[in-house]
Structure 1
Amino acid sequence: MMQLNVKDLKMQFDGATVFDHVTFTVQNDDWLTITGESGSGKSTLLKIIAGLIDATSGSITLDGKSEWDYDISTYRQEVSYAVQSAQLFGKTVRDNLDLPFEVRNQTPDVDRELTLLRAMELPESFLDKDVHELSGGQRQRVGVARNLLFPPKVLLLDEISTGLDADTKLTIWKLIQQMQDKYHFAILSVTHDGEEIKHANAIMTLQDGEATIHERTN
């Protein structure tokens, strides 16, 4: 059973405390949604868990091993971070979908890449499409597909559907749910969307520097 343990995390900026004593555990198939007002530290918390920034104090362990005892490349393969505006690289969609294979020293699997493109309701011809010609919604679908080519142990989603149309949101969330059902990874998501919150089995609210968690019953 996979476990991500966050214990007594504290974050300060310029002496001001953003949050303190944040403690929780997620396991396989958990979906924890983080809510709170702007500036409450939601995205900061995900960045700390992703290994992008350091907390002021506290600890994070994945399967009993400290985040900092992992090789950073290995850790980021196990804990995958997706953001609101996907950062695409290179020239084509193929360049971006090849990247997860290359960092693992594997030959790109075109069939897997095309399967995810189709699941994102993008045509196979998009594999060789210039990333600068993609709409915002298309870029986001490619970015999330890239995160899912190698399903992680923990998937971090930082307001990934903000600004997207309803159909694109539905496509993205449907695939994420299907992939979680198949691969049993845990999800931590930040969102303000009431419909998206319904995917979660637990909700954390960050308010006045404190975290409150409650289980969803429906």
Structure 2
Amino acid sequence: MKEKKDILRLDDIHYQIDNQVILDSVSFTLGEGEFKLITGPSGCGKSTLLKIISSLMDPTSGNLYFDGRAIGEISPEAYRKQVSYCFQTPALFGNTVYDNLALPYQIRQQSPDERKMQADLTRFGLPEAMLTKSINELSGGEKQRVSLIRNLQFMPRVLLLDEITSALDEENKRNVNEIVHQLVAEHRLAVLWVTHDTEEIAHADEVITLRAHGAEQQEQQHESA
């Protein structure tokens, strides 16, 4: 088995608002080809932790390293091309699905690959014709999948997922889960997924449980998903 290289390292991450501690002494690593889940009760800081890792928020104290470098030493633009974040409530832009899937190409000043967009829509159980559909006509589950597809137009090294299957039926949940695991295996993608889904938890390499008031616990699962 190929040795896994750590991509992310969190060292004693602490976050609080006024006197309220949200995260306290959170430390763990995420390596190439690893699939780890974050779970815990509402209000324990799961989404806050992902926002800190994605560099959308700064911790009150503690350090975050990417490939051994403090993320403060890396330009936000370069970092966010390597670490991709899918929100629980997708932030879609423009008027159509195409506008959203074309965005990563525009950021990189490249021509959109419409064939890849259509193939990805099909892979995630959506019709190719949805490319021209208004984002205002999408269901919650469709928006979640479009957001994920947008984040996968250029393969990141780290994928952060925040309850991205919460609006999906069981069949589409399983499909998304299988695709994410395929990406982990094929591209050695590192995945950190916030979820309460027991099926997803059962297939994780490791579950990181955040407790109320920021306490953190790790439970080792198994070697491969």
Measured against aligned partners, the alpha-carbon deviations of 1:80-133 in whole angstroms (never above 9, x if no partner) come to 100112111111111111001111111111121111111012111111111111
- 2-side partners of 1:38 and 1:196: how far apart? 18
Give the match for residue 159 of structure 1: 163
Equivalent residue of 2:122, what SS? helix
Q: Is the 8 A contact 2:34 2:184 kept in 1?
A: no
Residues 2-41 of structure 1 aligned to structure 2 (within 5 Å)? 2-41=6-45
- 1-side partners of 2:176 and 2:222: how far apart? 24
- 2-side partners of 1:189 and 1:128: how far apart? 29
175-184 vs 7-16, greater mean Cα deviation: 175-184
- 1:217 maps to amino acid: H
3-12 vs 128-137, greater mean Cα deviation: 128-137
- 1:162 maps to amino acid: S
- 1:210 maps to amino acid: A
1:140 to 133, 140, 144: 144
- 2-side partners of 1:129 and 1:214: how far apart? 42
Residues 1-218 of structure 1 aligned to structure 2 (within 5 Å)? 1-208=5-212, 209-217=214-222
- In structure 1, list runs of 5 or more residues that go unmatched: none
- 1:177 maps to amino acid: H
Q: TM-score, normalised by structure 2?
A: 0.92
Measured against aligned partners, the alpha-carbon deviations of 1:52-78 in whole angstroms (never above 9, x if no partner) come to 111000011110121122211211111
- 1:203 maps to amino acid: V
- 2-side partners of 1:144 and 1:175: how far apart? 11
- 2-side partners of 1:26 and 1:156: how far apart? 11
- 2-side partners of 1:93 and 1:3: how far apart? 31
Question: How far off is 1:168 after superposition?
Answer: 2.1
Equivalent residue of 1:152, what SS? coil
> After the TM superposition, which parts of structure 1 deviate over 6 Å for at least 4 consecutive aligned residues?
none
Q: Is the 8 A contact 1:2 1:153 kept in 2?
A: no
- 1:214 maps to amino acid: E
- In structure 2, list runs of 5 or more residues that go unmatched: none
Equivalent residue of 2:85, what SS? strand
Q: Is the 8 A contact 2:37 2:208 kept in 1?
A: yes
Question: How far off is 1:2 after superposition?
Answer: 4.9
- 1-side partners of 2:119 and 2:139: how far apart? 20
Aligned length: 218
Equivalent residue of 2:92, what SS? coil
- 2-side partners of 1:143 and 1:171: how far apart? 15
